[in-house]
Structure 1
């Protein structure tokens, strides 16, 4: 479903991401993109190694902003401030990105909490044998969440590829070719299968002791939030959304059983990831330009 989401999920998120930079020089834009990708990859590898619930989305956006400002000043970033007071569906630029990054985390937390309260009322008199049915429904909920996760995550890379093709002169306008979509879908699938176990362990067992109904609540909350964000063309952090949904489920079930330090780590991650990758990408860009 990650693979299918990347193939069938559209290009709205990709075009939002590719519109964050206003640099017109093809050579300079390629240098900025390279620096941003190296910075984001470096940060993501470190987060994976330590099992830190960091956001690859925050890392990539921070890398783009840092390298862009270093290359051509603060005006090289399309902030979208002038559009902030327009109807919500017309908000764009960094304002849109930051708005959804924050809003999606809140929706994940509140959605998880409300889902748990609803299922508690629905199943309060049920026997333990109902878990068999809940597990079956969980497969459907997980499939939906994975589809929108694949859609949103893959489009971030597709946005970068579209910019590279434009800056190099391969295409005259922003375009997402199918070969790029297929490649991103394949690599996202392989990466999920082989590289995410440390973070999965943190989310699945170190926040709250999940039973089948808790998992169902979290998957539905996360899937809906990811789906709405993808339809809105907003790049968001699936790691943060899912983590907050688990915290919300746990808070609704029994706050004393929630390991709140994970939420603290996530909060720290939100604060430090973007500035950190801004600095790293700036340094990398200066090195690239001096080679």
Structure 2
């Protein structure tokens, strides 16, 4: 039997590895548009995103508390199950990264948590009310992203319709520095908290915490891991998001980033762990659809949608199987 302290250390390492892979996998969310519109060089964009991802992680811990105790009964979860959940999420992240698909690290983690909990304790370990809230937020955030992206670009066109295109794009190159910074900050505010939540869940299950409250050392380590992962950059996904869905200009990047960032900051405040990837991608599609529906490359978009649909069950199945393996060798 594995020593409980050693297992806890393993879970913390896995959680930080997930956080790193999240930053690496989802770095495109913050910088794809600003790179594809040539507002910033890739190196400068990655540095900006890394710093602001770290800053955003300190915004609040509401999402971490939802991950740590709002979806499953923390008192019923064993450390090995938390480890299995992380293995499922990391495996799915790496698989989709190799394919260049911008799937959701949030969906992968939540799928892993649910799959591991079901394998260990069945439905009694799952908080259906909390799960319902999370799934509803995940379902509606892409829809809101599409609509808000559509409306923001319409409003932007209305404001600048008399301005020559070249002058407008030059202005939006400057504005996109602000919108991309806001997007990077909101990514850190939403996504870094998910690893904080999973480490907190492990600490509660190990008896090291009496309640779901994020310790300072957990907050700091997750913020740094997210920043380092973002600095590593996932360039294949950046290419898909920034260049293949629509033909991107600075005005498009500004509208998509602003729309997505507003949604992410709002959901982070209310503790809803929504998908950063889904939100920015749907905002980009909404922006492109204003020009004409054919401006959106629907073949690429549908590949992304299919990957989204399989993320939660895919990561869940990996975690379910991993939990059963752990139980067999206990």
TM-score above 0.5, yes or no:
yes
Match of 2:126 in 1: 77
1:17 and 2:67 correspond: yes
- Partners of 2:265 and 2:300 in 1: how far apart? 25
Q: Which runs of 4+ in 1 moved over 4 A?
A: none
Over residues 147-186 of structure 1, what are the superposed CA-to-partner deviations in whole Å (9 max), with x where a residue is unaligned?
1110100111000011111111222222211221111111
Larger displacement relative to structure 2 (123-132 or 112-121): 123-132
Displacement of 1:229 after TM fit? 0.9
Match of 2:92 in 1: 43
TM-score, length of structure 1 as denominator length: 0.92
Give the paired residue count: 276
Displacement of 1:75 after TM fit? 1.7
Q: Give the 3-state SS of the residue equivalent to 2:327 in structure 1.
A: helix
Q: Give the 3-state SS of the residue equivalent to 2:128 in structure 1.
A: coil
Displacement of 1:143 after TM fit? 1.2
- Partners of 1:162 and 1:24 in 2: how far apart? 12
TM-score, length of structure 2 as denominator length: 0.81
Q: Give the 3-state SS of the residue equivalent to 1:71 in structure 2.
A: helix
Residue ranges of structure 2 left out of the alignment (5+ in a row):
1-51
Displacement of 1:23 after TM fit? 4.9
Over residues 43-82 of structure 1, what are the superposed CA-to-partner deviations in whole Å (9 max), with x where a residue is unaligned?
00011111012111111111111110111011210011xx
What's the Cα RMSD here? Answer: 1.2
- Partners of 2:150 and 2:88 in 1: how far apart? 35
Larger displacement relative to structure 2 (144-153 or 127-136): 127-136
Residue ranges of structure 1 left out of the alignment (5+ in a row):
81-92
Displacement of 1:252 after TM fit? 0.5
Match of 1:214 in 2: 252
Match of 2:139 in 1: 102
- Partners of 1:255 and 1:67 in 2: how far apart? 41
1:268 and 2:306 correspond: yes
- Partners of 1:271 and 1:258 in 2: how far apart? 20
Equivalent runs, 1:1-291 vs 2, <5 Å = 1-6=52-57, 8-19=58-69, 20-25=71-76, 28-80=77-129, 93-127=130-164, 128-291=166-329
8 Å CA contact 2:107, 2:275 repeated in 1: yes
Over residues 23-49 of structure 1, what are the superposed CA-to-partner deviations in whole Å (9 max), with x where a residue is unaligned?
524xx5211100000010000001111
Q: Give the 3-state SS of the residue equivalent to 1:24 in structure 2.
A: helix
